[in-house]
Structure 1
Amino acid sequence: MATDRLDEVLDAAYDCLTRYGVRRTTMDDIALRMGVSRSAVYQYVRSKDDAFRKLAARLHTQALERARDAAAAEDAPCATRARGVLAAKLDLVHRLTGDSPHTAELLDEKARLFGDICAAFTAELRQLLTALFTQAGTPAGLGPAEAADVCLALVTGLESVPDGERLLGPASDALLTGLLGASQASH
């Protein structure tokens, strides 16, 4: 039950974020959105900053679960698994940047409130990709961690393109063919 109420608080915080941004949202806004008193909101979060940190953590955790599931799909070829990890990151970014100009604040690695959450998310994606490239192998002169960095750089570039999700497939196919070899990338 408490988890459901926390989810309601975070959903209300997200709605307020899309309208006002982090700085202009107040605890009263969150409470009003929920239809409860401000003191009721304080039962689940310590402050507005705590609400937004928990919201950022929830969204990044959900995306990370999708990435972990993709990486763990042992019946799928390495390229498909890597593409799934990359798609989890790109989907999160496009969702947040598409909902409102304010929601992109949750992606800022330099932000005081969310920076550590964003950095940990990217670090874990890098670990997942590094493990995949360690298992599959990479071309001579390029280590698994470097291959992971190249893949993450691709997604970072696609984040700024309006139809980046459409381009992820062909771009990752081309990249993974180079990193894994044609035979592994096509399977």
Structure 2
Amino acid sequence: MEDVTPQISASMQARRRLEQPDWIAIDEVPLTPLEQAYLHQVQIENLLIFTPLLIIAPLAAILLNLPGSLIIALVTGILILAGIVSYCRYRYALSIAYGVFDHEFIMQKGLIWHKKIALPYTRLQHVSLSQGPLERYFHQHTLKCFSAGSGSAEISLPGLGDDTAEPLRKHLLAKASQKQASQKQAAQEQNSLKQASQNQAPDGRED
């Protein structure tokens, strides 16, 4: 009698249930921080934001004949605000990191509320690079990853240098194509197994 029991594919055999001791916390995953050039870019952005304000605000106060004490208070307030905002933006830039793994792309960010995003390659549809004027000066790029069914970028990763940005974009697209093809093949194998099971006779023999 010929054995017509469906054989389990290698891709299905490789999938096994992990017990809790085998779970890996996302905090334990090693991530790569952004390049130092991006931190310099953030500092320059802060200067470009607050330097004009420090010049225009006192001049406007003088033209309006405001008291000297009020002008000093205004400048002091702007300096304090500039210091707080600059520090927060710098610390936020330090919090950004990313990791390229076999099954997903991970990004973390956040100063007060920490956020980690894991995007599986099976859901990755499009990857783009963009550059603003200041990014071009510092040779930096922003990488954006779009997932299936998402109108906006699920991951927006700034601070990638020329040597990293384009190779990373190509790698992510290649991994997405590979994983999605494997997922499609596994689905076809599973459908074939179901079809073979349905075609068997109740007693395990073919009529």
Name the TM-score, length of structure 1 as normaliser. 0.28
**Larger Rg, first or second structure (1 or 2):** 2
Using structure 2 for the length normalisation, give the TM-score.
0.26
